[in-house]
């Protein structure tokens, strides 16, 4: 298994999960690491790294600049370019393989769907409404670059992944820390939907898509029970029991985002997404509800 851009939270968990299954896992990243299974690349041009794809069972691409930043014009260009260029050059490498990877999973995001509030149906792969705005532009550009890669001998899967919750990385440790300080109240109106996934189910879903189906195309990789932001924060509050509960109106979040050099869209956009294709193929979630996931992640 070759994981591109695999040195972060998700990549580390995937590496451990698939090594336990008996895979040799090779990490390709911009950073130079020692060891026989770590390879450096520049994410733009072909190089010696491309040899790692020859005969691989799985190619997993997670490369891309973080979106947790201010959306300046320079940052916007870099966010999109880092995804499009890395996907394009991987396509060139796959096309050059005598024995290309069996399956290529390319990251995307559940944020591709429109802001979905209230009782509107959740977005499925077949009936989802594609949104507008910068974050949607990122997802559409990423998937378009992936679609353009000619790989007739390789099954291609786009992972429209929601926020992934884990103890040791990603957003959840920050959420829990803030909740302990009293910030477990609704953010903004609190009516925006939160689509989420436990890290264990993320790894299990990737394994399922590799080994239990021959389906290709876009998959929503999220738990089947999204919930409003108000309820998500209430779950944290009931678990962590802070002495104070501080309000989080939108204007205050805007000020905080400015000083933290991030954007409020990451918490205020309503993401209501449903994993219809995974469920229809028989995937069973270990943590189908957010209450179960949070209880597990906060267990000592």
Give 223-239 pLDDT, tens digit per residue. 999 999 999 999 999 99
Burial (CB < 10 A; 0-12, 13-18, 19+), residue 112, is: buried
Q: Does the pLDDT of residue 135 top 80, yes or no?
A: yes
- The token pair at 79 is 């966010």
- The token pair at 205 is 């879903």
Average pLDDT, the chain: 95
Q: Does the pLDDT of residue 260 top 90, yes or no?
A: no
Q: How far is CA 88 from CA 146, 147, 213, 264, in A?
A: 7, 10, 25, 30
Q: 192: pLDDT confidence band, cut at 50, 70 and 90? A: very high
Q: Does the pLDDT of residue 200 top 90, yes or no?
A: yes
Q: Does the pLDDT of residue 255 top 70, yes or no?
A: yes
Range 26-44 average pLDDT: 86
pLDDT above 70 as % of the chain: 98
Range 33-52 average pLDDT: 89
Residue 173 CA, chain-centre distance (Å), reads: 16
Are the C-beta atoms of residues 160 and 110 closer than 8 Å to each other? yes
Alpha helices in 97-246 (DSSP H): 134-148, 172-180, 199-211, 229-240
Give the largest CA-CA distance in the chain: 62
Q: How far is CA 226 from CA 118, 119, 231, in A?
A: 12, 12, 10
pLDDT above 90 as % of the chain: 90
Q: Does the pLDDT of residue 43 top 70, yes or no?
A: yes
- By three-state DSSP, how is residue 187 classified? strand
Measured between its terminal Cα atoms, the distance across the chain in Å is 32
Q: How far is CA 252 from CA 188, 265, 270, in A?
A: 9, 14, 18
Q: How many CB atoms lie within 10 A of CB 74?
A: 9
Are the C-beta atoms of residues 60 and 206 closer than 8 Å to each other? yes
Selection from 111, 23, 35 nearest residue 60 by Cα: 23
CA angle 118, 163, 74 (to 5 degrees): 100
Q: Does the pLDDT of residue 300 top 70, yes or no?
A: no
- The token pair at 62 is 């997670």
How does pLDDT run across 71-105, given as a tens digit for each residue? 999 999 999 999 999 999 999 999 999 999 999 99
Q: 35: pLDDT confidence band, cut at 50, 70 and 90? A: low
Q: 7: pLDDT confidence band, cut at 50, 70 and 90? A: confident
Selection from 125, 122, 126 nearest residue 228 by Cα: 122
Q: 259: pLDDT confidence band, cut at 50, 70 and 90? A: confident
Selection from 130, 134, 135, 8 nearest residue 61 by Cα: 8
Q: 266: pLDDT confidence band, cut at 50, 70 and 90? A: confident
Q: How far apart are CA 5 and CA 233, in angstroms?
A: 31
pLDDT for position 36: 72
Q: Does the pLDDT of residue 34 top 70, yes or no?
A: no
């Amino acid at each position: 298994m070759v994981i591109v851009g695999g040195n972060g939270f998700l990549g580390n968990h995937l590496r451990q999960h698939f090594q336990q299954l008996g895979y040799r896992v090779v990490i390709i990243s911009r950073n130079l690491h020692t060891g026989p299974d770590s390879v450096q690349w520049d994410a733009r041009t072909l190089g010696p790294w491309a040899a790692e794809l020859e005969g691989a069972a799985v190619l997993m691409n997670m490369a891309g600049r973080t979106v947790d930043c201010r959306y300046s014009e320079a940052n916007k260009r870099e966010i999109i370019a880092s995804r499009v260029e890395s996907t394009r050059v991987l396509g060139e490498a796959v096309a050059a393989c005598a024995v290309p990877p069996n399956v290529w999973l390319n990251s995307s995001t559940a944020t591709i769907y429109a802001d979905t509030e209230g009782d509107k149906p959740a977005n499925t792969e077949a009936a989802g409404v594609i949104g507008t705005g910068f974050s949607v532009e990122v997802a559409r550009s990423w998937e378009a670059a992936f679609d353009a890669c000619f790989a007739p001998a390789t099954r291609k899967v786009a992972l429209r992944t929601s926020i992934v919750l884990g103890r040791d990385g990603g957003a959840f440790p920050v959420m829990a820390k803030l909740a302990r300080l009293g910030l477990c109240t609704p953010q903004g109106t609190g009516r925006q939907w939160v689509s989420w996934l436990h890290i264990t189910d993320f790894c299990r879903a990737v394994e399922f898509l590799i080994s239990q189906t021959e389906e290709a195309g876009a998959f929503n990789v999220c738990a089947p029970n999204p919930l409003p932001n108000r309820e998500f924060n209430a779950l944290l509050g009931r678990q962590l029991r802070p002495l104070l509960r501080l309000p989080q109106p939108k204007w205050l979040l805007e000020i905080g985002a400015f000083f933290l050099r991030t954007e409020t869209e990451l918490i205020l956009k309503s993401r209501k997404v449903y994993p219809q294709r995974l469920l229809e193929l028989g995937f069973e979630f270990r943590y189908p509800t957010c209450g179960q996931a949070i209880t597990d992640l906060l267990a000592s």
